[in-house]
Chain A
Amino acid sequence: MSPLATKIKTSLESEAQQFHDVVDEHMDVPWQEFLRAWGELRAIDILQRDDEGAYFIEVS
């Protein structure tokens, strides 16, 4: 997993966030790089959604 994907994963393990919150935290990252990191998390199927559509990752 890329360092950026790992960073997003850690963040979503600590609290649920709307997609735009995750984006806002990484405005300094080129968009394509951000999308690839997001895709890494999607690919391993660990992203979950709460009632308001926020993303979170359950810590096992």
Chain B
Amino acid sequence: MADIGFRSFLDDLDKAGELKRITKPVDCRQLSALGEQADQATIFENIEGYPGWKVATALVSTRKRLGIAMGCTESRIAFEFEEKSSKPIDPVIVNNAPCQEVVMEGDDVDLTSIPLPLMHLYDGGPYISGTFAVSQDPDHGSNVGCYRLMYRTPNETGIDLVSPSDMRFYYQRALDKGEPLPIAIAVGVHPLDMLAASYKAPIDTNELALAGGLRGEALEMVKCKTLDLEVPADAEIVLEGELLPIGWTADEGPFGEFSQISGDVKWNPIFRIKCITHRKNPIFYMLQMPWENDWLSAPVTEAAGLQALRVASVQPVDIRAPVGSCGYWALIASIKKRPGEGKNAVTALLSVAEVKYVVVTDDDINIHDPDELDWAIAFRVQADEDAIILKGARAKHIDPSVKSWELGKGGLPTTAKIGIDATIPEGVPPILYRRIKNYGRDRIKLEDFE
């Protein structure tokens, strides 16, 4: 088996002192509240009513833990992601897989046999929040993404497919022919695989090869029991089934969104499950919202920003997708600027996914210090010259300001975006930004006079 997997990551967290083990009995209705309070990743080893099962949560709900997953320091995550994703490694197919040690098919399929948690106060039901969803299109090949599932019946879930995505596109193509879309959902994979799955890659990009690049070794896949799809062999649980050709007609949600908002009821397709496979003594992965999602989003957004800057021939020095933007809606970058490149950089970053707020600074600004950022905006920006506003760009439903309730079922919202060029304006001598410094500060020490 591969060296890198969900369980090896739990071991890595344990060795780093980042994993708490709860051995007292815990009810599924208590899991989320307990996991949210822990300052470490948590594994619940005694789930009431579910002998043999464990539940793991908050595995990457801090940037430090994501750094452990990436095998690098926190400040290097985006650059590491960018570098490794440029060296994809194709997946390999294996015949025997831990994820298929137990098989439930047909009438034996029973989602209630899995310890599904009730996560947030206003959720519309129990959720499977951390998924690695595989689908296939005859013309575009396989695709992987992350989609939440809301429990409906022992063999059905809702699935959030309102936002633009490759799987939504595949589903629409199947729906146009009146056909279901076969999909497989893996739960409990390494965070690197989740990062690859959440990457907004061009439609023909192989996310599985991207996962291999991030791992530095091929992702091992196994053929599903009932579908012509492959899933990560190392996964804890796999749900095999199809999206019914009913369009966006079934109620789904609310669910505690990664935007830190409770969300609202959405209209979505239904996922009907034909087969469940899992490991013996499986570990259910409860992705803790919002932080675990946000820290998985941030490096993907940051790497996409780096890529956009390089395509625009701008040299990035640092980049971050701020926590306040949930690692998704904003990008702050510093660049080594040549004339005009502040605007080029702003425009390039505004093109990234649903990023709607961008600030670009020179490389003398520490973009991780909000006070320095404010200083740059205060003294290097003229609003009528340095703010760029775009209208009618792609948006996500969960941003209340796009008023998605005004759309019909299945409708897609748009948004306006703002970018600020906080680099030193052309024609302003850099010496005017020379920082104040106390005379003798390098050699005169206060402790010598105390």
Contact = CB atoms under 8 A, between A and B. Distances in A.
Interface of A: 18-20, 23, 27, 30-32, 35-36, 38-40, 42-43, 47, 49, 53, 55
A35 B126 CA distance: 9
B111 to A, nearest CB: 8
Judged by DSSP, the binding face of B is loop
Contacts of B67: none
Given A18-B121, A31-B115, A32-B50, 16 more contacts: A19-B118, A19-B123, A19-B124, A20-B122, A27-B29, A30-B49, A31-B28, A31-B48, A31-B49, A35-B116, A35-B151, A35-B154, A36-B154, A38-B151, A53-B124, A53-B253
Given A19-B124, A19-B125, A23-B118, A31 B152 contact: no
Residue of B50, B123, B124, B253 with highest tally of chain A CB at under 10 A: B124
B125 A53 contact: no
Contacts of B226: none
Interface residues of B, number: 28
Contacts of B86: none
B207 interface: no
A19 B29 CA distance: 12
A50 B32 CA distance: 25
Interface of B: 27-29, 48-50, 111-113, 115-116, 118, 121-126, 151-154, 156, 251, 253-254, 264-265
A53 B265 contact: yes
B152 A42 contact: yes
A43 B27 CA distance: 25
Residue of B27, B112, B116 with highest tally of chain A CB at under 10 A: B112
Contact of B152 (A23, A27, A30, A39): A39
A32 B153 contact: no
A39 B123 contact: no
A36 B116 CA distance: 12
A38 B125 contact: yes
B55 to A, nearest CB: 12
Contacts of B116: 35
A36 to B, nearest CB: 5
A53 B254 contact: yes
24 contacts: A19-B123, A20-B118, A20-B121, A23-B118, A30-B48, A31-B27, A31-B48, A32-B49, A32-B50, A35-B111, A35-B116, A35-B126, A35-B151, A36-B112, A38-B151, A39-B153, A40-B153, A42-B152, A42-B153, A43-B153, A47-B251, A49-B124, A53-B122, A53-B264
